[in-house]
Chain A
Amino acid sequence: MSFSFPTLVRANIFQRRTRAGIAILAVAIEVTAVMVLVGLTSGTINEVSGRIQALGADIMFRPAGSSPLLGLSDTTMPEAAVDRLLEVEGVDSASPVMIWPTSEVSGAPTNIFGIDPEPFERVGGELEVLDGRRLQDGYEIIVDRRLASTEGLTVGQELEILGQSWTIVGIYRAGIGSRMMVPLPTLQEILGLPNKTHVVFLKVDPGVQPRQVSSRINSELSGYETTLMEQYAEVLRENIVGLDQFNGAISSIAVVLSFLVILLAMYTSIIERTREIGILKALGASKTYIMHTIMSESVLLCSIGAAAGVGLAYLTRWALVSRYPTLSVEFTMEWMIYAILLGLAGGTLGAFYPALRAARQDAVRALRHE
């Protein structure tokens, strides 16, 4: 049988609008949930890793056992490690960075980098100041343009962070390191961690392979770990515990949701249409035709739901980013197709039992059904 929607399918959907609407909405929510949640995790990872990689450093050096997810680890190391690193063959420059997460500015968690501007720029983190000036010392803070524009921050404005009042002295081009940066010694003092640092970013000598320098560091300095910056995005993904499980759980919930809603919708529809099924049987409709009709109705509902879900996902992303501009939600074609397929799969599976039940109904009993 060629796949075409039987005559009754369209008529049924229009006739039972509420039921059809609920089924469509359920599939749409499922597709939206998968796209937005996966898009949010992957967008955040890509955005963070992109900013860190944009520092221009070749290697990230950190205490062993600390998380490569910046801002999630309390483990520090002596700032003096910088001097030892500079002695390693192939290391050109090193920049210690303290990292502290805060939600005090935008509402969404954002890392503050405590930096020493000179070495920071030497490793490649060239901060292009668009307004104001560079960091110097004391309670000065610079913010990136994205945060400044979304929060309406201007040079000279005071910001209350970590119980202190900071003066915005500059606004720099977004996309490098963090959205806010303060002088390293000031952050160390506030956190009560003088002469400590969370990570050190390293630049290797021109023409030297970062991998070789990384191996050298690992052999010369024990108790530390190195991460090649070119692999940072991958390392981030590997270190976000349960990311795959999270995506798997979202997908499973999505399939179960659309399965149950379509199952319920189609099952009640079959009960409601018992007599119609009897008429179809009297007219000589085969089991295949009846199943085809029910399944087609479900496929059509799920397809409309999936299309609506994609639209709803874009709308949700727009709403989220409008409300929290620093959030990053990235949709990939791969996950979009996956989300649509999940919706269709759940719906098709959900319609299978009702369709089978309809096809197996006793013709006479169905015809006599009131």
Chain B
Amino acid sequence: MEQVPSILRTVGLEKSYDLGRTKVRAVCGIDLSVQKGEFVSIMGPSGCGKSTLLYLIGGMTNPTRGSVFVADTDITHLSDSERTALRRERIGFVFQRFNLFPTLSAEGNVCLAQEIQGARGRKAGVERARELLKWVGLGEKAGRRPYELSIGEQQRVAIARALVGMPEILLADEPTGNLDTENSWQIMKVFESLNEKHGQTILMITHNPEIAARADRTIHMRDGRIVNVEEDD
């Protein structure tokens, strides 16, 4: 069998927080490898360190110990600006609360991400935004503000926004956590399509075992550690 290269690797990853006089170990020595094009879900009880792991992988915060490799780059050795650039160019984020800008339309939210990416040319940017929104099934609602969209639609806008820079890794922090069953499955269809048709690497946190089961692999975490890994049959 051909060995697919790791797009993402963590080695002895640890993250501790000082909470007053108490030291909280959110992530304790996690070794993880994700292959290019793999769809991995992460499950675990609240407070087990799932989101912290995602933020560490996304370079949003630095680990207390250990390393995060995106392709061959150890991002823990990068400066804050370099990690920001890496996030901008190679990583996409999708959040549970969508985190759209309420003052901007769906199209505006996607265009904003393009602006952050340094895209030039407003017309080309708008066209690309419409293309992405069409792809997530919101072509007709590009001009609507987040409050004019359903929660499922808002999450689809957030996915379109995350895909602006064609990231190598998509990190999704409970993307269906705020959605009902129907909307959850619609979002999952988008993720599956991304993964299967475009080979998108996805790392997704979820509390829903049925949703987690759709991934190639499910990692179970507890108390900041990986306690079990389930491979998809």
Question: Chain A interface (Cβ within 8 Å of chain B)?
Answer: 6-8, 11-12, 14-15, 275-276, 279-287, 289, 362-364, 367
Minimal Cβ-Cβ distance residue in A for B161? A283
A282-B60 CB under 8 A given contacts A7-B104, A15-B103, A276-B101: yes
What are 16 A-B contacts with C-beta separation under 8 Å?
A6-B115, A7-B115, A11-B104, A276-B101, A279-B95, A282-B58, A282-B60, A284-B85, A284-B88, A284-B89, A286-B84, A286-B85, A289-B116, A367-B60, A367-B95, A367-B99
Q: Which residues of chain B come closer than 8 Å to A367, judged between CB atoms?
A: 60, 95, 99
The reply to whether A11 and B116 contact each other, CB–CB distance below 8 Å, is no
The reply to whether A283 and B93 contact each other, CB–CB distance below 8 Å, is yes
Interface stretch (choices B41-49, B105-113, B134-142, B183-191): B105-113
The 3 closest A-B pairs by CB, nearest first: A284-B88, A11-B103, A284-B87
Instruction: Tell which of A14, A282, A363, A364 has the most Cβ of chain B within 10 Å.
Output: A282
With both chains docked as a complex, state the minimum distance between the C-beta of A295 and any C-beta of chain B, in angstroms: 15
Binary interface encoding of chain B residues 63-96 relative to chain A, with 1 for a CB under 8 A from any of its CBs, else 0: 0000000000000000011001101110101010
With both chains docked as a complex, state the minimum distance between the C-beta of B154 and any C-beta of chain A, in angstroms: 13
The reply to whether B116 and A284 contact each other, CB–CB distance below 8 Å, is yes
Which applies to chain A's interface (DSSP): helix, strand, loop or mixed? helix
Instruction: Tell which of B55, B84, B102 has the most Cβ of chain A within 10 Å.
Output: B84
A11-B117 CB under 8 A given contacts A282-B87, A285-B84: no
Q: Is B16 an interface residue (CB 8 A)?
A: no
Q: Which residues of chain A come closer than 8 Å to B81, judged between CB atoms?
A: 286-287
With both chains docked as a complex, state the minimum distance between the C-beta of A273 and any C-beta of chain B, in angstroms: 10
Bound complex: CA A165 to CA B60 (Å): 86
Bound complex: CA A283 to CA B98 (Å): 12
Minimal Cβ-Cβ distance residue in B for A365? B61
Minimal Cβ-Cβ distance residue in A for B90? A284
For the A-B complex, the count of residue pairs with Cβ-Cβ distances under 8 Å equals 69
With both chains docked as a complex, state the minimum distance between the C-beta of A245 and any C-beta of chain B, in angstroms: 45
A11-B60 CB under 8 A given contacts A283-B93, A283-B116: no
Bound complex: CA A276 to CA B115 (Å): 15
Binary interface encoding of chain B residues 146-175 relative to chain A, with 1 for a CB under 8 A from any of its CBs, else 0: 000000000000000100010000000000
A7-B99 CB under 8 A given contacts A282-B58, A363-B60: no
Interface band, chain B: 20 to 34
With both chains docked as a complex, state the minimum distance between the C-beta of A262 and any C-beta of chain B, in angstroms: 20
Q: Which residues of chain A come closer than 8 Å to B165, judged between CB atoms?
A: 284
The reply to whether B111 and A7 contact each other, CB–CB distance below 8 Å, is yes
Q: Which residues of chain A come closer than 8 Å to B60, judged between CB atoms?
A: 281-282, 363-364, 367
Bound complex: CA A165 to CA B28 (Å): 100
The reply to whether B84 and A279 contact each other, CB–CB distance below 8 Å, is no
Bound complex: CA A367 to CA B89 (Å): 20
Minimal Cβ-Cβ distance residue in A for B80? A287
The reply to whether A284 and B84 contact each other, CB–CB distance below 8 Å, is yes
Minimal Cβ-Cβ distance residue in B for A14? B103
Q: Which residues of chain A come closer than 8 Å to B116, judged between CB atoms?
A: 280, 283-285, 289
Q: Which residues of chain B come closer than 8 Å to A279, judged between CB atoms?
A: 95, 99, 101
Minimal Cβ-Cβ distance residue in A for B92? A283
The reply to whether A282 and B112 contact each other, CB–CB distance below 8 Å, is no
The reply to whether B88 and A283 contact each other, CB–CB distance below 8 Å, is yes
Bound complex: CA A284 to CA B114 (Å): 10
Binary interface encoding of chain B residues 25-36 relative to chain A, with 1 for a CB under 8 A from any of its CBs, else 0: 000000000000
With both chains docked as a complex, state the minimum distance between the C-beta of A300 and any C-beta of chain B, in angstroms: 15
With both chains docked as a complex, state the minimum distance between the C-beta of B166 and any C-beta of chain A, in angstroms: 13
Q: Which of A7, A287, A363 contacts B61 (CB 8 A)?
A: A363
Q: Which residues of chain A come closer than 8 Å to B91, judged between CB atoms?
A: 284
Minimal Cβ-Cβ distance residue in B for A366? B60
Q: Which residues of chain B come closer than 8 Å to A283, judged between CB atoms?
A: 87-88, 93, 112-113, 116, 161
Bound complex: CA A319 to CA B82 (Å): 58
Q: Which of A7, A287, A289, A364 contacts B108 (CB 8 A)?
A: A7
Q: Which of B85, B93, B108, B115 contacts A282 (CB 8 A)?
A: B93
With both chains docked as a complex, state the minimum distance between the C-beta of B34 and any C-beta of chain A, in angstroms: 19
The reply to whether A11 and B87 contact each other, CB–CB distance below 8 Å, is no
The reply to whether B101 and A11 contact each other, CB–CB distance below 8 Å, is yes
Q: A11-B101, A283-B112 are in contact. List 18 more A-B contacts (CB 8 A).
A: A12-B103, A15-B102, A276-B101, A281-B60, A281-B84, A282-B58, A282-B87, A282-B93, A282-B99, A283-B113, A283-B161, A284-B88, A286-B81, A286-B84, A287-B80, A362-B61, A364-B61, A367-B95
Bound complex: CA A11 to CA B58 (Å): 28
Q: Which residues of chain A come closer than 8 Å to B112, judged between CB atoms?
A: 7-8, 283
With both chains docked as a complex, state the minimum distance between the C-beta of B63 and any C-beta of chain A, in angstroms: 12
Q: Which residues of chain B come closer than 8 Å to A286, judged between CB atoms?
A: 81, 84-85, 88
The reply to whether B88 and A364 contact each other, CB–CB distance below 8 Å, is no
Q: Which of A284, A362, A363 contacts B117 (CB 8 A)?
A: A284
With both chains docked as a complex, state the minimum distance between the C-beta of A263 and any C-beta of chain B, in angstroms: 23
